[in-house]
Structure 1
Amino acid sequence: MYYYWRSTSTYSIAIHTTARTLTLYRNGQWFKSYPVAVGKSATPTPKGTFKIVNKSINPGGPFGVRWMGLSKPHIGIHGTNNPSSIGKFISNGCIRMHNKDVIELYNLVPIGTTVKIV
């Protein structure tokens, strides 16, 4: 007989743009928070509720080591090749994370995870 492990945890993400934090919830409870960079005033991070619709390893360029695309076209949660940008209003609307943090998040959350940006 074969057994397999399957996560029964449900994850959701909340991004607070003014605080520049991404909070991960597991089964509705706080799990972990990360510092992020968000959109500058000319290209702000959009507010609303979205879903992760695609994921990519090593997308290259300014996207660092991971990409998680949102249901809002051209917006995603990704790593960065400029770690000094974290904590700032600097992106073109995307949510940037330290590469080590985005790897951890990428490995936890599946496609379909809800992302609420406020």
Structure 2
Amino acid sequence: MPTRRTLLAALAVVPLAACQQSRGPVQVSAADDEAAWYIGTKPDKPYDVPLVDTGRLDPKYRRQVVSYTGPEKPGTIVVDIDERQLTLVQAEGSAIRYGVGVGKLGFSWKGEARVGRKGVWPDWSPTTTMVSLNPDLPRTRKGGVDNPLGARALYLYQGNRDILFRIHGTNEPWSIGEQMSSGCVRMLNEDIVDLFERVPVGTRVLVKRNGKYRV
């Protein structure tokens, strides 16, 4: 298993992103460098999951159990693009809420979908649109701690069609709460692992903007 030093060295590689930032990587100042975000790892296979100092996040973006009065059934994932939050509805009026990063203006998707498949330390490939915007992008990248999809990915489908939007981990924890990706919903690696273990394939996913998921 990689040591913490090896892990941080890998994370220092500039991300390619998927569901990549469309304007280039965030600039992290020397006083707030990447390594300072990480406090250790959680055992996983084939790589350990990087753990983040969540004290650096706005409290609203930290994983928490909250009251929930919405109409959605337990087990539903509700993503609020405006609030930068993902909610997993639970029974008896409660929910688990996670902070997320979302697509920048013009890239965010809204609607209803389902989890069509799940990936562990998934490989990354750019969409046709991403390649048209940046022809120099590599066409694939193997899963790992420096992969922009992070430790897990939930692939969103409508019917039998992969709509090319994902809920996935990130190697840029400072992007949680921001609107900067090419459309996908990104979570801390430790949070996507937690969500991944709670939801099966077939889970209903509602992605809302302006309080609505329907056009």
Q: TM-score range by the shorter chain?
A: 0.7 to 0.9
CA distance in 2, matches of 1:49, 1:80: 23
Indicate which of 65, 75, 91 corresponds to 2:151: 65
Equivalent residues of 1:11, 1:28 under 8 A apart: no
CA distance in 2, matches of 1:51, 1:84: 27
List alignment gaps of at least 5 residues for structure 2.
1-73, 123-142, 209-215
SS at match of 2:115: strand
For residue 113 of structure 2, what is the aligned residue in structure 1? 50
User: One-letter code of the match for 2:202?
Assistant: G
CA distance in 2, matches of 1:29, 1:114: 18
Cα root mean square deviation, aligned: 1.3
Q: For 1:66-85, list aligned pairs within 5 A.
A: 66-71=152-157, 73-85=163-175
Name the structure, 1 or 2, with higher relative contact order (CA <8 Å, separation 6+): 1
For residue 33 of structure 2, what is the aligned residue in structure 1? none
How many residues matched?
Answer: 108
User: One-letter code of the match for 2:155?
Assistant: G
SS at match of 1:93: coil
For residue 4 of structure 1, what is the aligned residue in structure 2? none
For residue 116 of structure 1, what is the aligned residue in structure 2? 206
Q: Report which of the two structures shows the higher radius of gyration computed on alpha carbons.
A: 2
Between Structure 1 and Structure 2, the one with more strand by share is 1
CA distance in 2, matches of 1:87, 1:39: 11
Q: Give the C-alpha shift of residue 41 in structure 1.
A: 1.1
User: One-letter code of the match for 1:21?
Assistant: Q
Between Structure 1 and Structure 2, the one with more helix by share is 2
For residue 91 of structure 1, what is the aligned residue in structure 2? 181
CA distance in 2, matches of 1:30, 1:112: 21
List alignment gaps of at least 5 residues for structure 1.
1-9
Indicate which of 174, 190, 203 corresponds to 1:100: 190
Q: Give the C-alpha shift of residue 40 in structure 1.
A: 0.5
CA distance in 1, matches of 2:90, 2:155: 20
Indicate which of 17, 27, 36 corresponds to 2:100: 36
- TM-score, normalised on structure 1? 0.86
